[in-house]
Every structure is written in structure tokens, then in C-alpha cells.
Structure 1
Amino acid sequence: MSPAPQTLSRSTLMFPLALVLFEFAVYMGNDLIQPAMLAITRDFGVGANLAPSAMSFYLFGGACVAWLLGPLSDRIGRRRVLLTGALFFALCCILILFTQNMQQFLTMRLVQGIGLTVVSAVGYAAIQESFAERDAIKVMALMSNISLLAPLLGPVVGAFLIDYVSWHWGFIGIAVVTLIAWFGLNKSMPKQQQSVTKKPFNTLFQDFKQVFSNKKFLALGLALPLGNMPLMLWIALSPVMLVDELKLSSFAYGLSQFPVFIGLIAGNIVLIKIMDRFELGRTVLVGVPMMCFGALFLLAAVFVPAHALALILIGMTIISFGEGLCFSVLYRFALMSSDVSKGTVAASLSMLIMFSFFVFIEVGRWLYMQWHLMAFACSCLAFLAIWLLYPRVFLMQVMKERREAGTF
């Protein structure tokens, strides 16, 4: 018999807190390193245009193994896969210290990306199974706020490492945090889970076929990378945009991230505070138009270069606030849009999100090198416009079905 979903309490929060510490380490694996990428490219004797590739390869590596880790956790348990994955990620953080050129460095970034899938395809599925619907969304939003310390602290710590020590120490610190998270997970993660399947691995293709042939899953799954892409492009391109072109110092670059990610934290807090008062999904219908409004500030920065930095930061802060209102709700809807085992559905979501990020960031990097801020602003507007044209229709359909079923 499956264990009943838990309610939020001090004791039940210990597992999410341990998981979010691991998630924090995984995010620091990107956010701490991004400000160091210009120094790393110089160390390896390559152009600054390869700096965003450290992030896209990280995401691509996560997407490459999602097909295996999610279904594996369905069959042998989330706990075993999550604990093993955390140890493997810590090992990768040590091995990258020995890379000798950019090719080796990007290869290790690809392998490190497995940590992203361990969190998203295994850890998130365990959270969704452990808590009732609205509690699970609140836990995800709370985890998001804690994990956002990574993009807040990462650029500042990364800038300090560049100026005073070496980028190598960043990976050592990430490995240490990961090991602390592993001990917390080993102690607090439930030993039981809801969906342990005895299906053989030769049914894997049929499971994924069933998930990806589900139009509702595809629409709600694509809603996540489309809505997240402005912030992901910002993380990938802001070192080049702010340091290389606007000539900010590394420390000023780190400080410039604060309003953007404080906006995201504020959006998550508002979601937690108001979601019980409204129909589930209503915050998304407010958040995405708000993000479109923020993207207009990015476009304005193209035509008012004297105030470009201020307009960019205002626009990105509004966008990130809107994203905070959306992500946790959309993730729950997408995960529950298919009846297949949740590890497989979460893996499908991870692949869809990370492959989309990899392609969109690499295309965005190329466009930015050609048309700079105009390409960034127009790309953000385009992603949000596609969201309004396609996923929004399916979101409205899901909300209608929930109203008819009496589930709000």
C-alpha cells in the first residue's frame, strides 16, 4: 500500500531541506562558475564567446541521462538513485580540477550536468509523491527560494575567487556542500515511496512514447522552458553583456544579480501566500503577462543606451517575479498530466526542459554575438509570445477540467 501524502510540519520538512541543499550545490555548480568563465576561457586560450557554453553543456549533460535515472528510480527506489547521484556529482566537482584545456573542461561540465537530473527527475518526483497537491507546490516554492541563494551568492563568490584566489576553489566548495547534503538525505529521506514498479526495462520505450504522445504533457512541459528562458538567457549571457560589453567589474556584475533574483524570491513568496485563496493556475495567468511587460523594458534598453543597465535590471526583475508566480504550479500540472510512473514523467520533463535550454541558449548565444542586446530582448519577447499562443490554451483547458471535477 502506498504511503499517504504528508502534511507540512517541522519534521516532514527535513527531507526537502536536505534535498534543497543538494540542489543549491548543483545550482552553484553553474552560478558560481559563470562569472569565472571569462577568466577560464583566458586560462585555456579560447575566445570569450565560448563562456555561455559552460552552462549549455551543463544542461545538456543533465538531459542526456534523464531517460535512465527517472525510470531507474521507479524500479529501484528514489532514495538509492538520489544518494548515488549526489556522491557522483561531488566526485565530478573534484575531477574537473584536473582538466587541461577547454575541450576537457566542457566534457566535464557535460558529465557534471547529471546532478541536475538527479534533482529534477528523482528529487522533485519524490517531493511531489510525499506531499498533497497544494503542499507539494508550497514545498517546491520554498525550495526554490532557498536554492536561489545560489544565483544570489554565486556571482559574488565567483567574482571574489577570480580576484583573490582561483576558480578551482569554487568546485572544491561545491563538493563539500554536496557531501553535507548527502548525509542529510541519507538521514531524512523516506525509505518508502509511492511508485515502485516491477516493469522490466524493455518497456521503457513504450512508457516514454506514451508520455510524449500526450499533447497536454507536451504543451505544459514546453510551458516550463519557454517561461524560464528569459532568466536562463540572462544567467548565460549576463557575464558577456555586463562585464565584457558594459565594462562592469566582476564585483559589480555580482551585485547586479541581486535585484533579479530577489524578484524571483518575492514571486515565490507571493505564490505561497496567495495560492490557497485562488484557483490553482490563476497565478500563472497573471505571471506570464507580467513577464511580457518586463521584456518591454529590455527592448527599451536597446533604444535608450544611456540607461541600458537600469532598464535591463528593471525588466529582468519584473520577469523573474512573474516566473516565481508560475514555475511550481506549472511543474505540478505537467507532472500530473500523464498517468505513467512519476519517475518516467519527471525524466521526460527533465529531458524536454534541458534539451530546450541547451538548444535555446546556444541559439541565443549565436544571435547575441550578431545583434547584442536587441537579440536578447527580442528572444525573450518571442519565447513569451509562443507561451501565450500555445501552452496557455492547454493550461486553460486543465483549469476548466479541474473546475468541472470540483478540484480547485
Structure 2
Amino acid sequence: MNFESLLIHGGIDGDSFTGAVNVPIYQTSTYRQEDIEKNNRYEYSRTGNPTREALEKLITDLENGVGGFAFSSGMAAITAIFSLFKSGDNIIIQNNLYGGTFRVLDKIFKNFNIGYRIVNTIDLQEIKNNIDNTVKAIYIETPTNPLMDITDIQKVAKIARDNNLITIVDNTFMTPYFQRPLTLGADIVLHSATKYLGGHSDLLAGLVVVNDKELKDKIKFIQNATGGVLSPFDSFLLIRGIKTLGVRMDRHNFNAKVVAEFLKSRGEVNKVYYPGFKDHIGYNVQSKQGKGYGGMISFVLNEGYNYKKFLKNLNFITFGESLGGVESLICHPATMTHGAIPYEIRQKAGIVNNLIRLSVGIESVHDIIKDLEMALNESKYTK
């Protein structure tokens, strides 16, 4: 089945009991049991729910994995993955990644003596130099949030296999429509499904897919034991969102390229981070491991231009947290998505105060550009 059809018919296609074309919302907490030693497959909705199971099977199909799991948020999914590790373990992470991921490692898991090492994962030798017998995993986003660095998943996965490490890939920005990390050698792929998979800014969800039965059993145990599961209603909404993922991502991808080229042409803009530019350092890698460049752009305003004035003068584009919705969303990483990262680390990575992150929506690209143009025109410092 082609991927576009798999989005609609993958997992559990409809309801065999009634013939409904959509999987029903099984809004129940518990299930009647036949006997003290026998149940009807389901016993309690934290452990298993038919609507959530349909979603989990769907994302497993889409990522070409062995097992999938749905959580109540992207951070709940990330927390479940980090719960695989024990005291004394270290995890290699990137020098720029989502601030919430850094925060949960630095403020929560550090209390359990699970550490991290910050590495530029574009540099494969730097990864190798940071591996010792305490390192158990390499955690990457590609593209990174917010600087759009591209990591070669296949090469990192080989380094991990050679050293008996787990490769974890946050695939939120690309989605399985553009990139499938498990087929490139990764062990675990995760999504903040709140973003592109849901696509309509109306739910919170996290998804995890693994490539072998041992990891499947471990994540299943963690999911059930800690209980951060996705509700039946949000599972239903997410299945519905995924059905249109292909057409939405094609539009995001098209619009982002046009907007990136516009921003690059403007004198108010010092730098544009967009992996679809041929002069982007990761362009060749992304072209090899994916079939698109996504809908995310970051850019830096030149000195003399006020990012606060720029953001305030936007009318059409929504200033707020999150990304991946049908509407264009813009944020200020240094104070919003990456505020949890210490100032010195942010500055070293390039997450400066005049950096703006734009999630390009599926509206008319002409309207998006018109709004950006008006805001840029009003962004110059005045005495």
C-alpha cells in the first residue's frame, strides 16, 4: 500500500463490529470480564483501549516499526523513553534541541543520577569522542528545534550499534511522511503528535515507535506502570488528523520554501535557517534521508531591527507556543520554547535574542508573506 493510502487505511481500518468507516471512541475506563481467570482482551483503559490501540497500530505502520505507544503529551512520551535508563547512565544529546527535553533531563532525571552530554551531532567524531561505558543512548532531533541542524541518522545509528547504544530520534518536524528513522537504523522514534500529526492545534499527544520486541515490552510496561496514556477522544482526533497528513505536509513544504526565499531576500534579516536551501550545511543529508524539508523556518533579525516590534506588528500570523498547525505560528525561542536552557548554552548554540521561529501554515502563501513584510517594515528601531 502506498504511504498516502496507509495514512487513511493503516492500523485498524474502521470498525468490524458495526461497519463504521471510523474507529469508534471507546469512552470507557473498564470492561466486563468473562471469568476470574479470563478477560475479553481489555481490562482497564490505562492498560489498553480499542481507540488508542487503533492509533498505536497506525503509527507503528507509518513508522515501519514493531510496536507503537500513545501518550498524553510529547513530554510524557519523552519521559517514558528516558525511564528506560538507570542511575549512572548517560545520554548524548544535541547542542540545540527542544528546551522541554533538556529541562526534563536537567531538572528531573538528573535527580536520579541519569546524566547527559551535550554534543554537536553533525560532527560524528565528536559523538565518538564522548562515548564511554556510561553512555547508553544517543538522542537526536533532525532537523533540530530551532536551528534546523541536520544529523545523518544512518551514520549515527551505525555508531550507536557499534557501541551497543540505543538511537532515539525525535521525528516531530519531519513526520513519517517525509522521514522514517527506523528504516535508517534508529531504535526508537518519537513524535510530539500535538504538532503536525494532529495538525489542527486542538489536542496534546505523544507517540513512540520501537524497532524490536524487547524495547516494545519495556515501553509497554513503562506506559502502563506510569499511566501517562492518551485519552480515547484525543486518540480519535489524532487518527482523524493523520488521515490528512500527506496533503497538509505537501502544502507546508511548498509554503515554507517560498517564505524562506522571501525572508532570505530581505535586508532586515541577517540569517535564515531552512534545510531546503542548497547552501544549508545539512541539505545533502536531508535530501538523502527524507523526501521533503518540512514547514519550519528560523531566522535572525539584523541589528537595528527590534524583534519585539516585529512580533507585535504581525496581524495574520499567530504569536504563540507550538507548531505544526494548519495556521502559521511564530515564537521567540529564547524566552519561550527554549527558556529552560541556560543563557550561556543558548548563546553558544546560536539561540540568540533576535532569533525567531516560524511554523509556516497552509494558508495562502501570499497572505503569509504580506503579513511578514508589513511586520518587517515596522520593526526598525526608532530613537
**Higher relative contact order at CA 8 Å, sep ≥6: structure 1 or structure 2?**
1
Q: Which has the higher strand share?
A: 2
| TM-score normalised per structure 1 | 0.27
| TM-score normalised per structure 2 | 0.28
